Chain A
Amino acid sequence: QVQLVQSGAEVKKPGSSVKVSCKASGGTFSGYILTWVRQAPGQGLEWMGRIAPNLGTTHYGQAFQGRATITANSATATTYLELISLTSDDTAVYYCARGRGDGFPNWGQGTLVTVSS
């Protein structure tokens, strides 16, 4: 049974950047799509972007183009989300999720990123 284990909570200053990791244990990346979704406090789910590690391709939501970078290391089965130029609007729980393109059966536990001066 695959588990996605994310890095711990972060507190960042406005204007800085954050990098969150997500490691698959008990499974691989091969043939899967890794996606990042965020959820602001009390709000719904927002799709940020995805990577297909075996193809090396990425797609980003329009709101995150130029500000988010998703990468993956197949050797360590880890995917990363880096978000730059943080503002208070980026305060959210960030989730990684794994699927084959028809929904996400596997999710990480979430990483709380707080942006505050």
Chain B
Amino acid sequence: DIQMTQSPSSLSASIGDRVTITCRASQDISNSLAWYQQKAGNAPKLLVSDASRLESGAPSRFSGAGSGTDHTLTISNLQPEDFATYYCQQYYSTPRTFGRGTRVEIK
């Protein structure tokens, strides 16, 4: 199974900050990576697929980058509604493994 190591596990940031979350795969997954946002009590919401393709309806302040083993999700100009937990997931092979999540909290 491909292991997805996500960091940091949590971070504190202020409104307007730029934050970056990293996801490292245990092997080359090309660009077969998705990012999700999850708010308490809700199902995850797909933000980015194919490592950098923003989903319809996702704000443009979210951007994904990377290929191979190293991937990032960047939120520029952090907004109040962005405080949530973010997960990466690889779909290069089955099982489709998730990272352990990054909780973004208000400083």
Question: Which residue numbers of A lie inside 8 Å of B, CB to CB?
Answer: 35, 37, 44-47, 49-50, 59-62, 95, 97, 101-105, 107-110
Describe B's contact surface by its main secondary structure: loop
Instruction: Find the residue from B43, B46, B87, B99 having the highest chain A CB count within 10 A.
Output: B43
Which chain A residue has the least Cβ–Cβ distance from B97? A47
Question: Which residue numbers of B lie inside 8 Å of A, CB to CB?
Answer: 1, 32, 34, 36, 38, 43-46, 49-50, 55, 87, 89, 91, 94-101
Alpha-carbon distance A18/B78, docked complex (angstroms): 41
Given contacts A44-B101, A45-B101, A47-B98, contact A103 B91 (CB under 8 A): yes
Determine how close the nearest CB of chain B comes to the CB of A36; give it in whole angstroms. Answer: 11
Which chain B residue has the least Cβ–Cβ distance from A45? B98
Given contacts A45-B87, A95-B43, contact A105 B101 (CB under 8 A): no
Given contacts A44-B87, A45-B87, A47-B97, contact A103 B43 (CB under 8 A): no
Alpha-carbon distance A59/B50, docked complex (angstroms): 22
Residues of chain A within 8 A of B1, CB atoms compared: 62
Determine how close the nearest CB of chain B comes to the CB of A52; give it in whole angstroms. Answer: 11
Residues of chain A within 8 A of B45, CB atoms compared: 107
Given contacts A107-B43, A108-B43, A110-B43, contact A101 B98 (CB under 8 A): no
